[in-house]
Structures are given as C-alpha cells and as structure tokens.
Amino acid sequence: MQKITQLAQQREPFLFVLSYDTKQQYIEPLKSLDSDIFFKIGGQRNYPKTPRVKPYSLKKYPLNFSNYKNSLEKVLEEIRSGNTYLLNLTFKTPIESNLNLEEIFTYARAKYKLYFKDQFICFSPEKFVEIEDNTITTYPMKGTIEASIPNAKEKILADSKEMAEHVMIVDLMRNDLSMVGHSVKVEQFRYVDKIKAGDKELLQVSSKITATLPKNWRDNLGEILSKLLPAGSISGTPKHSTVNIINQIEDYDRGFYTGVFGIFDGENLYSAVMIRFIEKEHNRLYYKSGGGITLDSDAKSEYNELIDKIYLPL
C-alpha cells in the first residue's frame, strides 16, 4: 500500500482498486489511467453518459439448494463453536446476457461503478469509507428485503435476525474506525434506502459511523486502509477468524469481488465495496453474490437472498 501513501503525500489524484485479500492491486494517478478502466465514484466519472441502446436479458444458473445448505451448515457449526458470530457467505453464479461487460456497465445505474479492463464490472450500492477534511465515515450495509412486501420497511427493521446482524457489523466497524481515529460516533443507525434490482425494488438497511483522523492522515493513507480491510460487511466478526473460515468454506477465489475501489481527489477520499459484481472467466460471465449468516439464519431465505442479489440495477 506504499504507492497509495506516496501519491496521497504528493496530493496526486489517483484511482485504487484492491482485491478482497489486497494481493491484487491497481493504483494509478488519474492523469495516467489506462484507457480500458471506467469509474463513477464520489461525484466523479471518467466516461461520458450514454443512452441505453437495446433491451437486456439476464439468465442466472445458481447452485442447487442442497449444495448451498451444506455450506451454510458448515458456517452454522463454526458459529456454534464460537469461532464466528457473523459470516458473509458468497458464491459465484454462471449467468448469460445479450450484453457484453462494457454494455452491461453502460446499462446499469448505480452510485458507484467500475469497469476494469474487460475483466470485471461492479455497480455497487455500498460505500466503504469517505474521508473529508479530517473526518472518516463508513456506511455498513446489512439487511435486504423486497420493497413490494406489505409493510416491508417495518418488517425488516423489526426482524430480530436482521437486527442482530446489523448490530454486530456496526460494532465491528466502530472498532475498526477506533484503530485509525478517535471520537467514534454512530451518526445514523439502521436507515433504509430503496434501490432498483432488475424488475424488482429492494430496501437495504445501512448505518453511518464517523471518527476523527489525525490532521496528517494523508501521509499515512495506505496504512489506514490496510487496517480497515477487508470490509467488515463482506467478511464478518470477529474479522480474523471469520476470514479464515471463509477461505475454508467458499469453493472459489473471490478475487476483486468484495474488495474496494475508490479515488483520492488530491484532498479527500471516496470509496465503495465491490459488490453487485460480474466477472468474465474463459469468455463466460459469473455474478458473485452472498449474504450475512448468523445463528438465526434460515437456509431457504438466505438462498433466495443470494439469488435476488443477481440483477442489473435499472
């Protein structure tokens, strides 16, 4: 992460793309960005807005329920043993579309978007951290429900499993921010956003947590990000042991999925978690998705959430 610190010290605007395990990194000044990388983040984009030129199709081929349930049971056994309390379990799903990766990127609507070298795209609804002046803010997102369900907002906010999951993530992120700053505060707890999910609308629950950084944070930016990664919302708690369990149970390499990307604009930093993620592998497309597992998780509900998260935001 030395290059991040070096560029921040020089107040040089740059883009960073970090894989889930941070072993793969792309860090380049915005002025010399490769021509096959497009981003939208922090109110900035490096590509023109273009109209949608044709309808899209998206077919998904998820793993069967019994295989999912077997993996879920392994997670639940680890929870019962006290090795984790919350674990974000993910899978990759083969998909087919009439659009290529760049066309899907153009088609999808999202606050945070990345097209990376015809290898993968993400259109994320989830911020990771923002740093403005000396304040660092994170927005953990936990809890999803179809907006069409009667009283959906009231139901998800009253759901004890969703509440427990969200509280654990908020506690984890408070702890993470305390490692890099002081005066940690939960500014907003469990607020609800509505997002487009293909032909559905989803409600997603987030919180806002802030802390104050030292005035010289730009001189240590790489170290700050290292302490915060991987993002708590896509790993779990306690983070170290949960990541080890993920590595044992998940049957594929996450790669850049659930990593983070962002920009430093010369003064401030804006970043997002790389979810809602499509990757090209041997000329096939795979959509990676998942959800948080706790002791109260219901296998069928979690399986359906995994599939519901495979969509293009309209």
Q: How far apart are CA 77 and CA 73, in angstroms?
A: 6
* Residue whose C-alpha is closest to residue 217's, from 227, 209, 207: 227
Query: How confident is the model at residue 314, as a pLDDT?
Result: 72
For residue range 218-238, list pLDDT tens digits in order. Answer: 999 999 999 999 999 899 999
Query: How confident is the model at residue 107, as a pLDDT?
Result: 86
Q: How far apart are CA 122 and CA 90, in angstroms?
A: 15
What the block records as the tokens of 302 is: 């979690």
Say how far residue 15 (Cα) sits from the centre of its chain.
Answer: 17
- What is the band of 288 on the pLDDT scale with cuts at 50, 70, 90? very high
Q: How far apart are CA 85 and CA 236, in angstroms?
A: 8
Query: How confident is the model at residue 102, as a pLDDT?
Result: 93
Query: How confident is the model at residue 195, as a pLDDT?
Result: 79
Answer whether residue 313 shows pLDDT above 90: no
Report whether 308 contacts 156 (CB < 8 A). Answer: no
Query: How does the average pLDDT of the chain come out, rounded?
Result: 93
For residue range 227-285, list pLDDT tens digits in order. Answer: 999 999 899 999 999 999 999 999 899 999 999 999 999 999 999 999 999 999 999 99
Query: How confident is the model at residue 194, as a pLDDT?
Result: 87
At residue 216, φ and ψ (nearest 5 deg) are -95, 30
Q: At what angle do helices 2-9 and 221-228 cross, to 10 degrees?
A: 140
pTM here is 0.92
Answer whether residue 32 shows pLDDT above 70: yes
For residue range 153-209, list pLDDT tens digits in order. Answer: 999 999 888 898 889 899 999 999 999 999 999 999 999 988 777 677 888 899 999
Q: How far apart are CA 80 and CA 164, in angstroms?
A: 16
Query: How confident is the model at residue 198, as a pLDDT?
Result: 66
Query: How confident is the model at residue 285, as a pLDDT?
Result: 97
Query: How confident is the model at residue 204, as a pLDDT?
Result: 87
Query: How confident is the model at residue 132, as a pLDDT?
Result: 96
Q: What is the 3-state secondary structure (H, E, C) of the chain?
A: CHHHHHHHHCCCCEEEEECCCCCCEEEEEHHHCCCCEEEEECCEECCCCCCCCCCCCEEECCCCHHHHHHHHHHHHHHHHCCCCCEEEEEEEEEEEECCCHHHHHHHCCCCEEEEECCCEEEEECCEEEEEECCEEEECCEEEEEECCCCCHHHHHHHCHHHHHHHHHHHHHHHHHHHCCCEEEEEEEEEEEEEEEECCEEEEEEEEEEEEECCCCHHHHHHHHHHHHCCCHHHCEECHHHHHHHHHHHCCCCCCCCCCEEEEECCCCEEEEECCCEEEEECCEEEEEEEEEECCCCCHHHHHHHHHHCCCCCC
Percent of the chain with pLDDT over 70: 100
CB atoms near residue 18 (< 10 Å)? 25
* Residue whose C-alpha is closest to residue 280's, from 66, 14, 4, 36: 36
Q: How far apart are CA 205 and CA 265, in angstroms?
A: 28
For residue range 105-124, list pLDDT tens digits in order. Answer: 988 888 899 999 999 999 99
Radius of gyration of the chain (CA): 19
For residue range 46-102, list pLDDT tens digits in order. Answer: 998 887 777 889 999 999 999 999 999 999 999 999 999 999 999 999 999 999 999
Answer whether residue 104 shows pLDDT above 90: yes
Answer whether residue 5 shows pLDDT above 70: yes
